[in-house]
Structure formats: C-alpha cells, structure tokens
Amino acid sequence: MYVLILDLMQTLSVLAMERPKSFSSEDIRDEKVSIHRKVQANVQVKVLQSIPPIEKSEVLLGQYAAAGDKPGYLDDDSVPKGSKCPTFASMILHVNNDRWKGVPFIMKAGKGMSLVDLKYDH
C-alpha cells in the first residue's frame, strides 16, 4: 500500500508543482522540494504541503480478485490467507494554492491491473 501512495504523491508533486525558474533538473528539483530547517532537518514537498487532509469519502481502496484465467491476490501462495492488504487505491486530492485551487486531482494506482495509463486533462 505504501508503494501505491508514494507513486501517487510523486506523480502529483511533478504534475502540480509551480513553474520552475528553468527546466534544468536542478530548478525542477528545487521547485518540487523546499528545505525547511527546524529542530531537525526536514525535506518537504511544496505541493504536498498545500493538500488539506484527505476526506475518507474521497478514497477507495480495493484488492484485485481472480478473473477468468488470471489469479487474484489471495490466490498467491505468499499472501496470508484472508489478507486485507489493498492492491488498488483511488483518491481525490485538492491542492490549495493559487494555481490549482478548486481543481480536483483524481489519482489511481494499483497492482494486477490490465491497463497502465497516465492522463492529464485540462
């Protein structure tokens, strides 16, 4: 599950970041990440700081099941019987900054899916 969340957050941070000074890798990195020194050194992504807490009603978790001749997650011998581990996540995120306020980001990621797709509609 954590891999799904990290993949979604990485995609969102690149897609929704503010325009960098230039398109050099250093300027893109600097826009994605701002370093704040408090009591401990802390790396924080600007875009992620602009996301309010996610509402439970805007999250869907699931687990892929057997379909046709393809086995499901629980059919794998290495998976504990009755596992509730999600293999799919879909969520609506809101980025509260000047550029993206009011625009929902619908993020989906999963394992065992027949389609791999990344879309940006504007």
What span, in angstroms and rounded, lies between the C-alpha atoms of 67 and 4?
Answer: 22
- Note the CATH number of domain 2-110: 3.30.360.10
Q: How far apart are the first and last CA of the chain?
A: 29
Are 107 and 14 in contact by the 8 Å Cβ rule? The answer is no
Task: Give per-residue pLDDT as tens, 8-31.
Answer: 667 777 777 777 788 888 877 776
Among 40-44, 66-70, 92-96, the least confident range: 40-44
Give residue-wise pLDDT tens across range 70-106.
Answer: 899 999 999 999 999 998 888 888 888 888 888 888 8
Q: How is the chain split into domains, by residue range?
A: 2-110
Contact 91, 8 (CB under 8 A): yes
Task: State the Cα–Cα distance between residues 97 and 32, nearest whole angstrom.
Answer: 14
Cα angle 34-94-6, degrees, rounded to a multiple of 5: 60
How much is the pLDDT for 7? 66
d(CA 47, CA 84): 31
| HSE-up of residue 6 (Cα within 13 Å, Cβ side) | 3
Q: What is the pTM of this model?
A: 0.61
Task: Name, in order, each residue with C-beta under 8 angstroms of 58's C-beta and a sequence gap of 6 or more.
Answer: 91, 92, 93
